[in-house]
């Protein structure tokens, strides 16, 4: 529940900030008449995300076990790819997010293609919605506790919506750079865990060699799949199920936070380590570069104020605007 709450909070706040920037800019231009078109695009993106979630949840029931594992593993890989892309996109685009979004609105208004605002709203929210849906679906598959996982995500999204509204009204100052840095680091660990579970699914389906296939090395004494260095590369890297029960609260917390499972194959461990090492190194290297995150200007702020530079600590308020 904690893991999905943080995911909902992070992804929801990204979407809320983008929508807030668009809505505040239209209000400042005196074009409230086209706001309904923006909301149509946002609503369409939300509906699309819910439809995708429903199809993933109910569409696999009639499939064979192997087919379910292949689909689950493949979609988990897609989720990892989308999360990784969004982490770095946010790092790069945050510096010019406000200016870019306002430029898109200006072009739509200048061309007279006001329905282009529907597309802008749709695309801005659909990116976050589809990514969140795939990531939550993958985590539910691995946790096996859908109600709590979905409740955590819902609470995170509601909290994000509330924070976005308070930021837009100038009622809250939030150091967005620090927020996205910490949640980005957390998402790297979550994505590494989803990647490891994707490998597990594909090994169970026989797509990758592993403990569930004929390629698994066997222990000469017990005849079971070998564990440890002697099981490299297609056996179990470790098995601590005797100490940490797979269905226990401790196992759930470790899997949700760092992607640890009581029993992991060598391919899972290698994938987890390589992902965290490579993506984490690039992520923290990029963090050293100065950046600012744009947030929406309040409706009452004059245009001259909305373009003033951010404060040095990047704790941007709507009255200050952002570069």
pLDDT of residue 62: 63
- Omega of the bond prior to 145 within 30 degrees of 0, cis? no
pTM of the entire structure? 0.76
Is residue 258's pLDDT more than 90?
Answer: no
CB atoms within 10 A of CB 64: 10
Higher pLDDT, 247 or 316: 247
Q: How confident is the model at residue 143 (pLDDT cuts 50, 70, 90)?
A: low
Q: What is the pLDDT of residue 311?
A: 33
Q: Give start and end residues of each alpha helix (H) in 112-175.
A: 116-143, 146-168
Q: Say if residues 161 and 18 touch (Cβ distance below 8 Å).
A: no
Judge whether 191 and 80 are in contact, CB under 8 Å: yes
Whole-number pLDDT of residue 215: 85
Which residue, 311, 296, 279, 291, is CA-closest to 177?
Answer: 291
C-alpha 289/C-alpha 274 separation (Å) is: 24
Predicted confidence (pLDDT) at residue 296 exceeds the cutoff of 60: no
Return phi, psi of residue 295, to 5°: -130, 160
SS3 call for 165 = helix
- pLDDT tens per residue across span 98-138: 788 888 888 888 877 667 888 888 988 888 888 888 888 88
Domains of the chain, residue spans: 1-288
pLDDT in tens, 10-42: 888 888 888 888 888 888 888 888 888 889 999
**For residue range 43-77, what is the model confidence (pLDDT) as tens digits?**
999 999 888 888 877 766 667 778 888 888 898 89
- Do 291 and 96 meet the contact criterion of CB atoms below 8 Å apart? no
Alpha-carbon torsion (129, 69, 4, 85), positive or negative? negative
The rounded distance, in Å, linking the Cα atoms of 291 and 94 is 7
Q: Residue 43 belongs to what H/E stretch?
A: helix 35-58
Q: Is the pLDDT of residue 298 over 80?
A: no
147-194 pLDDT, tens digit per residue, is 777 888 889 889 988 888 887 776 667 677 788 888 888 889 989 998
> Token match 């200006």: residue?
106
Q: Token pair 């529940």 is at which residue? A: 1
Least confident of 144-158, 241-255, 293-307: 293-307
């Amino acid at each position: 529940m904690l893991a999905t709450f943080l995911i909902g909070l992070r992804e929801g706040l990204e979407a809320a900030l983008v929508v807030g920037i668009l809505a505040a800019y239209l209000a400042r231009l005196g074009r409230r008449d086209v706001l309904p078109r923006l909301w149509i695009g946002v609503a369409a993106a939300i509906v699309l995300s819910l439809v995708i979630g429903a199809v993933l949840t109910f569409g696999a029931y009639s499939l064979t076990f192997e087919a379910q594992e292949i689909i689950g593993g493949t979609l988990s890989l897609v989720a990892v790819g989308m999360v990784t892309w969004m982490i770095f996109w946010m790092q790069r685009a945050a510096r010019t997010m406000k200016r870019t979004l306002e430029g898109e609105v200006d072009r739509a208004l200048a061309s007279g293609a006001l329905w282009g605002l529907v597309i802008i709203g749709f695309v801005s929210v659909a990116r976050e919605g589809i990514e969140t849906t795939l990531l939550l679906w993958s985590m539910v598959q691995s946790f096996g506790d859908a109600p709590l996982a979905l409740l955590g995500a819902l609470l995170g999204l509601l909290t994000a919506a509330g924070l976005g509204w308070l930021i837009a009204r100038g009622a809250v100052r939030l150091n967005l750079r620090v927020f996205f840095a910490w949640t980005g680091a957390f998402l790297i660990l979550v994505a590494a865990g989803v990647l490891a579970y994707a490998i597990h699914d594909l090994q169970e389906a026989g797509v990758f060699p592993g403990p569930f296939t004929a390629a698994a090395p066997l222990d000469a004494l017990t005849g079971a799949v070998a564990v440890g260095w002697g099981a490299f590369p297609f056996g179990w890297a470790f098995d601590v199920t005797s100490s940490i029960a797979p269905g226990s609260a401790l196992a759930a917390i470790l899997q949700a936070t760092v992607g640890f499972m009581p029993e992991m194959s060598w391919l899972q461990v290698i994938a987890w380590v390589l992902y965290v090492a490579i993506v984490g190194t690039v992520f923290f290297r990029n963090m050293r570069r100065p950046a600012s995150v744009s947030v929406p200007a309040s409706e009452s702020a004059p245009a001259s104020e909305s373009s003033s530079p951010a404060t040095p600590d990047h704790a941007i308020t709507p009255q200050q605007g952002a570069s």
